A and B are shown apart, each in its own frame.
Chain A
Amino acid sequence: MRVRLRVNGSWVEVDVEPHETLLNVLRDRLRIRSVKYGCGIGECGSCTVLLNGRPVTSCLVLAAGLDGTSIETADYLAKTELGTRIVNALLLEGAIQCGYCIPGFLVTIYAALKSGMIRRGDSTEIARAISGNICRCTGYINIVKAVRRVVAELVAIGAD
């Protein structure tokens, strides 16, 4: 079946099978490599993307039901002002090791900052917001520090 999706700002039409996941469509049909396969059952968060602005694990979402929706992926969000801040903060805090899970974290962090799920910027609030994403390299400490850095920057420039 045919679905129209607004992917990273542009409308595309794709033919999808009824059983096909959004992850497959993004990776295999649209060749968006920033969406990583980690577990296929929504547990690791590596394939997180924004669906109408909300984070979802794309391996659990069937593409056939997505006609007319908007999808944003890590590579696209990284180019926005907030995304650039997140990337820089991850880099400066040494939060990137093997890097496989990081695009998923980027999307989760972006969404949590946008939605106000992360507001105060304390470690517990951040840990809760990113607890759906698994990283086996960093112990999350430098990732949490990176988010704290972004929050501090946003406060400094007076952003809400």
Chain B
Amino acid sequence: MYDFIGKTFPRHDGVAKATGLVEFTFDIEIPDMLYGRIFKSPYAFAKVRRIDTSLAESLGAVVLTPDSVPDRLFNPRLVSIEEDTFKDWRVLTYTPRYLGEPIAAVAAPSEDLAQRALEALKVEFEEVYEPILDPFKAMAPGARPIHERIVRGRTWVEVRNNVAAELRYSEGDVELEERRSDVVIERRFHVPRRYHVQLEPKGAVCKPEPDGSITVWTTTQTIHNTKILISQVYGIPMSRVNVKKVPIGGGFGSSIHTNLVTLIAVGLCLKSGRPVKLVLTREEDMVHDHVSFEFYMRIRAGATKDGTITFGEFENILDIGAHQVQAYPLLGTALGWFVSLYRWRAVRYYGRSVYTNKVPSCAIRGYGAPEVTWAVETVVDEMAEELGIDPLEFRLRNYRGRGEIFWGQGPTVKSVIRSDGVPELIARGSELIGWRNRGDPRSKTGRYRRGIGVGRGFHTSGAGGPLSGAIIDYSGAIVKVNEDGTVDYITALQDHGGGTLDAHAKIIAEELKIPPSKVRIVWSDTATTVYDVCTHASRGVYVGGEAARRAAAEVRRKVLEYAARILDAVNPEALRVEYDRELDDAVIYVEGAPDRRVTLSEVARIAWQRNWGSISASVSYRATAAPPSFTVYFVEVEVDTETGIVRPVRVVAGADAGTVINPELAAGQLHGGFAMGWSWAVGDEVSYTEDGVPAHRLSVADYKIPTALDLPKPEEFVVLFASTYEPTGPFGAKGLGEAASNPVIAAVANAIYNAIGIRFYEIPITPERVLEALRERG
């Protein structure tokens, strides 16, 4: 039984956030600061002849052009090993490849002056090309190359047919398995680009220090990779770049890489020698900065009469936009999601990432898993129906569970599944939603039709594994005991809001048997922390939390050594530690002689007074697995066959996250994960005109984000946690953030099918599409 794990404590930063006193990047002000603005390309594909900066400079602005930054290609995401990193970005460019690509930047003492200087820049274009917006046109013979050469690792490589990266994989005999199959289904799926709608637009502040170093505050999911990239791009030693951790107003993958705005702010700061703040407007953030990947998928799969899945073939074309953030690794993870969902006896995969003249794509929550899971779960549902097998039974027979090899994060990150709550979640969830009574779509009539659907999926907990692989994945933690027995926890790991760091505080508290309120989570920076790769891949609790636990365990050993001296015990093994509710502290006592006792606070004080030294530990931890957190969603929807509007009626969200550390915050991940998945299923879409101009209006209003009226009410949403324990996780915990949204589109689409008998192979399933499909069917 735990003292703190699994219990509810108000989050450490909650009051500061609710009252608005927490400072986000947007809120940071430094005396004598300049304000930056970016000159963004008005064309989606063009070549700049010259930039006349004289007028802007005469206004008193500092101007940055492509000539004033190092001409060094980079990839803003530093997570793959260097050999697998494709570099095609510049801080500023004379060859803009998407509408909004930064060409120049200005900084001035006021926002107004910066804006005037921006308008005073004269950028003359040598050529404006017709933009290539469609990946299939981009690959067609004769298409203009968007990039001619890029750098892979440290080597120049030619780009052919605008194909940015490619991955092929096969296992087993697909043809043989297809011949053995009694049912074969082939479908094509399309997922558009979507915008993250993180509530805080991106920004950065860069300050020169008297010792010649710089300090950077910025919207990021990784301070250390930001430090490394700034160092690489500008050729500054890493010891002269300090990146401060700032709260982030929503991540969801949008700041999984180092944002261009950060590098431009650094450039302006270095040139001006003054602090510079550069923040994006919502319009800039939404239209010019980032979107998610667009998927064109083809899946062909088979099964035998007895309900065994035989083979799966998967073709995956990604429209990545004008630059690579993680185009190559996504080809690997998309395959990983596919392979790890079910026990295909044979697999064939072909993945291609294709350049187009659109805003570069980056990860969005799930990194391809929601999209692939939707496609696979649709095909699996169809196969089950064709075979006359209950879709739940069909899934239970074929999914990859305990004891099997699993490689969600791609072919180089394999590990064995050790905990699996799928059977429990399917059993309990189906009961709660009333699966047996969901009815046949053919028997449903009337204007409003209800349907129940299931989606099963997972996400990895991090990207660790027994072998080093192609992905960098480890975390650091420093735990030190103050002289009064309180604890400082110092980590670079970013908490996007899910409560990751509160989980860490509880893990440390549990290990030391002190209350979480005695653990301070220090707002740190790269100079005072050890490396943490990034908060992504749902790794915060599983990897970062285990690093914290190990550091705390080392601290506990030292505390016991000191306590043994104080208590005159023969050695620390003779001691026991307990949380004492009355003293609100850890009490260390001699087993069998409980009156020989000392509190952790006393140990800390005595160690200080007697010059024994500080009690602290620093840990760098790599996980040897990336266990799947399974999720099973049951969703009931109601389709209005006159308007085409789909409404959520009830949701049962089941998650196997191992031991649940923060129950109310973990439930919040499922609420939010559903909301985002629902939004993808029925609303989110970014589209472009033929000129490469974003056609979605530049407002949150026109990009339909669900409000409280569009989503289930508390009484319509049930959260289930499986009673599992992951032996490799801190106190048995796994990840959750992305698993929470991965199967949602699938469950919603399957529910819509159960309501009206129509399958959709393109999302979002908008009212227009529903009406059109109903009309076509007649």
Binding site for B on A (CB under 8 A): 28, 31, 33-41, 43-44, 46, 73-75, 78, 86-87, 90-103, 106, 123-124, 126-128, 130-145, 148
How far apart are the CA atoms of A3 and B212 in the complex, in Å? 43
Given contacts A74-B19, A138-B668, A142-B714, 16 further A-B contacts (CB under 8 A): A33-B27, A34-B19, A34-B20, A38-B200, A40-B282, A87-B19, A99-B16, A100-B24, A100-B200, A101-B249, A123-B713, A127-B713, A130-B708, A131-B709, A134-B700, A136-B198
Contact A39 B671 (CB under 8 A): no
The 8 A CB mask of B644-668 against A (1 = contact, 0 = none) is 0000000000000000001011011
Contact A41 B18 (CB under 8 A): no
The 8 A CB mask of B275-290 against A (1 = contact, 0 = none) is 0000001110000000
How far apart are the CA atoms of A136 and B16 in the complex, in Å? 19
Identify B18's interface contact among A33, A35, A38, A78, CB under 8 A. Answer: A78
Q: How many whole Å from A27's CB to the nearest CB in chain B?
A: 8
Q: How many whole Å from B674's CB to the nearest CB in chain A?
A: 6
Interface size, chain B (Cβ < 8 Å): 62
Please give, as numbers and ranges, the residues of chain A lying within 8 Å of B711 by CB-CB distance: 139-141
For B250, give the chain A residue with the smallest CB separation. Answer: A98
Contact A131 B281 (CB under 8 A): no
Please give, as numbers and ranges, the residues of chain B lying within 8 Å of A134 by CB-CB distance: 197, 199, 700, 705, 707
How far apart are the CA atoms of A128 and B711 in the complex, in Å? 11
Contact A102 B665 (CB under 8 A): no
Contact A103/B19 with A135-B199, A137-B497 known, Cβ cut-off 8 Å: yes
Contact A94/B667 with A39-B699, A99-B247, A127-B709 known, Cβ cut-off 8 Å: yes
Q: B676 an interface residue at 8 Å Cβ cutoff?
A: yes
Contact A139/B671 with A75-B19, A78-B19, A144-B714 known, Cβ cut-off 8 Å: yes
How far apart are the CA atoms of A127 and B196 in the complex, in Å? 23
Contact B668 A136 (CB under 8 A): no
Q: Say what secondary structure dominates the interface of chain B.
A: loop
Please give, as numbers and ranges, the residues of chain A lying within 8 Å of B10 by CB-CB distance: 91-92
Q: How many whole Å from A147's CB to the nearest CB in chain B?
A: 10
Please give, as numbers and ranges, the residues of chain A lying within 8 Å of B23 by CB-CB distance: 33
For A76, give the chain B residue with the smallest CB separation. Answer: B19
Contact A44 B700 (CB under 8 A): yes
Binding site for A on B (CB under 8 A): 8, 10-11, 13-24, 26-27, 29, 111, 196-201, 247-252, 281-283, 496-499, 662, 664-665, 667-668, 671-676, 699-701, 705, 707-709, 711-715, 717
For A17, give the chain B residue with the smallest CB separation. Answer: B112
Please give, as numbers and ranges, the residues of chain A lying within 8 Å of B713 by CB-CB distance: 123-124, 127, 141, 144
How far apart are the CA atoms of A40 and B285 in the complex, in Å? 12
Q: Say what secondary structure dominates the interface of chain A.
A: loop
Contact B668 A100 (CB under 8 A): no
How far apart are the CA atoms of A35 and B662 in the complex, in Å? 29
For B703, give the chain A residue with the smallest CB separation. Answer: A43
How far apart are the CA atoms of A89 and B84 in the complex, in Å? 48
Interface centre among B19, B248, B283 (most CB of A within 10 A): B19
Please give, as numbers and ranges, the residues of chain A lying within 8 Å of B672 by CB-CB distance: 97, 136-139
For A130, give the chain B residue with the smallest CB separation. Answer: B708
Interface centre among B247, B664, B672 (most CB of A within 10 A): B672
For B111, give the chain A residue with the smallest CB separation. Answer: A28
For A93, give the chain B residue with the smallest CB separation. Answer: B664
Please give, as numbers and ranges, the residues of chain A lying within 8 Å of B199 by CB-CB distance: 36, 38, 44, 46, 98, 100-101, 134-136
Contact A139 B675 (CB under 8 A): yes
Contact A38 B282 (CB under 8 A): yes
Contact A127 B708 (CB under 8 A): yes
Please give, as numbers and ranges, the residues of chain A lying within 8 Å of B715 by CB-CB distance: 123
How far apart are the CA atoms of A33 and B665 in the complex, in Å? 26
15 A–B pairs (Cβ distance < 8 Å), ordered by A: A37-B201, A74-B19, A75-B21, A91-B10, A94-B8, A96-B497, A98-B248, A98-B251, A99-B16, A101-B249, A123-B715, A128-B709, A134-B707, A137-B250, A138-B668
How far apart are the CA atoms of A145 and B668 in the complex, in Å? 11
Q: How many whole Å from B256's CB to the nearest CB in chain A?
A: 15
Contact A36 B675 (CB under 8 A): no
Please give, as numbers and ranges, the residues of chain B lying within 8 Å of A132 by CB-CB distance: 707
Contact B709 A73 (CB under 8 A): no
How far apart are the CA atoms of A137 and B247 in the complex, in Å? 14
Interface centre among A28, A73, A99, A144 (most CB of B within 10 A): A99
Contact A100 B701 (CB under 8 A): no
How far apart are the CA atoms of A63 and B385 in the complex, in Å? 62
Contact A87 B15 (CB under 8 A): yes
Please give, as numbers and ranges, the residues of chain A lying within 8 Å of B281 by CB-CB distance: 40
Interface centre among B14, B23, B200, B251 (most CB of A within 10 A): B14
Q: How many whole Å from A125's CB to the nearest CB in chain B?
A: 11
Q: What 8 A-B pairs have minimum CB-CB distances, sorted nearest first?
A: A34-B20, A99-B17, A100-B249, A98-B497, A139-B675, A94-B664, A97-B497, A103-B20
Please give, as numbers and ranges, the residues of chain B lying within 8 Å of A38 by CB-CB distance: 199-201, 282, 700
Q: How many whole Å from B492's CB to the nearest CB in chain A?
A: 18
Q: How many whole Å from B686's CB to the nearest CB in chain A?
A: 15
Contact A102 B18 (CB under 8 A): yes
Contact A136 B705 (CB under 8 A): yes
Please give, as numbers and ranges, the residues of chain B lying within 8 Å of A128 by CB-CB distance: 708-709
How far apart are the CA atoms of A51 and B711 in the complex, in Å? 29
Contact A99 B22 (CB under 8 A): yes
For A97, give the chain B residue with the smallest CB separation. Answer: B497
Identify B15's interface contact among A73, A91, A135, CB under 8 A. Answer: A91
How far apart are the CA atoms of A69 and B16 in the complex, in Å? 27
Identify A96's interface contact among B18, B27, B705, CB under 8 A. Answer: B18
For A86, give the chain B residue with the smallest CB separation. Answer: B18
For B252, give the chain A residue with the smallest CB separation. Answer: A136
Interface centre among A31, A138, A148 (most CB of B within 10 A): A138
For B668, give the chain A residue with the smallest CB separation. Answer: A94
Identify A106's interface contact among B18, B252, B671, CB under 8 A. Answer: B18
Contact A39 B282 (CB under 8 A): yes
Q: How many whole Å from B341's CB to the nearest CB in chain A?
A: 25
Q: How many whole Å from A68's CB to the nearest CB in chain B?
A: 25
Q: How many whole Å from B579's CB to the nearest CB in chain A?
A: 22
For A19, give the chain B residue with the smallest CB separation. Answer: B112
Please give, as numbers and ranges, the residues of chain A lying within 8 Å of B196 by CB-CB distance: 136
Q: How many whole Å from B484's CB to the nearest CB in chain A?
A: 26
Please give, as numbers and ranges, the residues of chain B lying within 8 Å of A90 by CB-CB distance: 14, 18
Please give, as numbers and ranges, the residues of chain A lying within 8 Å of B676 by CB-CB distance: 136
Please give, as numbers and ranges, the residues of chain B lying within 8 Å of A142 by CB-CB distance: 664, 667-668, 671, 714
Contact A75 B20 (CB under 8 A): yes
Contact A145 B714 (CB under 8 A): yes
For B716, give the chain A residue with the smallest CB separation. Answer: A123
Identify B29's interface contact among A31, A106, A139, CB under 8 A. Answer: A31
Please give, as numbers and ranges, the residues of chain B lying within 8 Å of A91 by CB-CB distance: 10-11, 14-15, 18
